[in-house]
Amino acid sequence: MEIQYLTKMKNNPKVGRWEIEGISEQEIIKIENEFKIKLPKAYKEFLYLGGKYTGFMQSWTTDAQYLDWSQINIRESMDNINLHLRPFFAFADFEGINCLFFFLDEGENPPIYGYDESKIYTNEKGEEVFYKKTDNSFSDCIDGFIDYALQNG
């Protein structure tokens, strides 16, 4: 797979003590077929480079084998608080009530949003909200995790 967006991840196959491990393009196609969606290119690159293991994201669950579980838990969490969003995909899960996600209609390197059932985010008015844009693009999000891991070992 040609890497267009995640060059920092490609150029850092070992981040601190964590060595990333990807999945095949065929496995990525299976994921798209399973969920009946088209994933953005930047996320496909993430899966290709680190879909089996991305330790540099530390406590976040990002491995492809847990994607079913993550989608179910996050949707249940959102249902519990009556939050209904347009089609999205949770790519990083933290304990089933907190995730990082992207909307499926925002391009090949979409903005990233953080969600937390306990309203840890605030909007521009200072009001507590369940989710908020955290990064302008998927690549910015992943680059930020890599930078943090490189600085903090």
Instruction: Give residue 43's pLDDT.
Output: 98
Instruction: Give residue 140's pLDDT.
Output: 98
Reported as a pLDDT band with limits 50, 70 and 90, residue 40 is very high
- How many CB atoms are located within 10 Å of the residue 60 CB? 18
Domains belonging to the chain, first-starting first, are 7-152 (3.40.1580.10)
Instruction: Give residue 54's pLDDT.
Output: 87
**Percent of the residues in the chain that have a pLDDT greater than 90, as a whole number:** 73
Reply yes or no on whether the pLDDT at 55 is more than 90.
Answer: no
Reported as a pLDDT band with limits 50, 70 and 90, residue 27 is very high
- Fill in the amino acid letter for 31: I
125-151 burial code (b ≥16 CB/10 A, e <16): eeeeebbeebbebbbebbbebbeebee
Reported as a pLDDT band with limits 50, 70 and 90, residue 58 is confident
Distance CA 102, CA 106 (A): 8
Instruction: Give residue 49's pLDDT.
Output: 96
Per-residue pLDDT tens for 9-22? 999 998 877 889 99
H/E stretch holding 146? helix 138-152
Instruction: Give residue 38's pLDDT.
Output: 97
Per-residue pLDDT tens for 87-125? 999 999 887 678 999 999 999 999 999 999 888 899 999
